[in-house]
Amino acid sequence: MQQERRLHSLEKIVAAVALVAVLFLAVGFAQAQESPHARAARVFLRSSSVLVQDATSGRTILSKNADAVVPIASISKLMTAMIVLDRGLDLSEPIKITDADIDTLKGTHSRLRIGSVLTRDQLLLVALMASENRAASALCRTYPGGKAACVAAMNAKARALGMTDTHFEDPTGLTPHNVSSAEDLAKLVKAAYQYPLIREDTTSESAYVNARGRMIAYHNTNGLVRNPRWDIDLSKTGYINEAGRCLVMRLRVASKDLIVVLLDSWGKYSRIGDANRIRKWIESSAFERHRG
């Protein structure tokens, strides 16, 4: 009788363990079937448009209004840099900042005084790392054929990359008529990653340039590149009122190469908060259940 009671107790334990296992598998299966949009809702992201992709396979992991066409602000400078590099222009050529580079649209401040002379290489660095608008303007102004040819090349490059939601009207992103979608910007990041100089410039923490005898210190507009916990291969921020706070990155998280696009994030630090929330979610056990 005592032996039978022990067997009965053992059977109950085995049944309970089996039930827990079944429930765990059922929950895991249900979560695996979630759409990328549903996952984004659970992560509670504050950016209006979000896309997180596996950079290798192109698989979408998180998505929120990823097809919405919105202003992209200084994310535009990635395209400016690509068409300048595509043209094979002399990076050591000195270029003077002129009145034509003054921002008459938004009236933004620049520490690059009129008459400052930097090499094309230095202009690329401060345009990409510190989002210096006069630098981006000068790069486009000195493009063969001038600004019109530069902007035309930007739009032609977008079409070649299959960026059907994208349109550019200037090299800086100060105009709200520079528009794209998160889906298109993932294509832009993927293309920009192929340029070693863009990878280097967008992830540099800081740099000094000599402008008219003055040493000017520039810092990366994405503070995450200075955080040793982040492994970022490419980065670009953007902001104008119409676009909100924007951020695109190619980075490595939990042994995965990812593309992250965050557009129109309200609040000064919301895009960084969203990046941290995405990272935390990906590093959690939930991401393991979603991996294909």
Write out the catalytic residue numbers: 74, 77, 131
Strand locations in the chain, DSSP E?
Answer: 47-54, 60-64, 70-71, 94-96, 117-119, 179-180, 206-211, 214-219, 231-240, 244-253, 256-265
CB 70 within 8 A of CB 263: yes
Is the Cα dihedral 139, 183, 51, 200 positive or negative?
Answer: negative
271 contacts: CB under 8 Å, gap ≥ 6:
47, 237, 245, 246, 247, 262, 265
What whole-number distance in Å separates Cα of residue 59 and Cα of residue 256?
Answer: 12
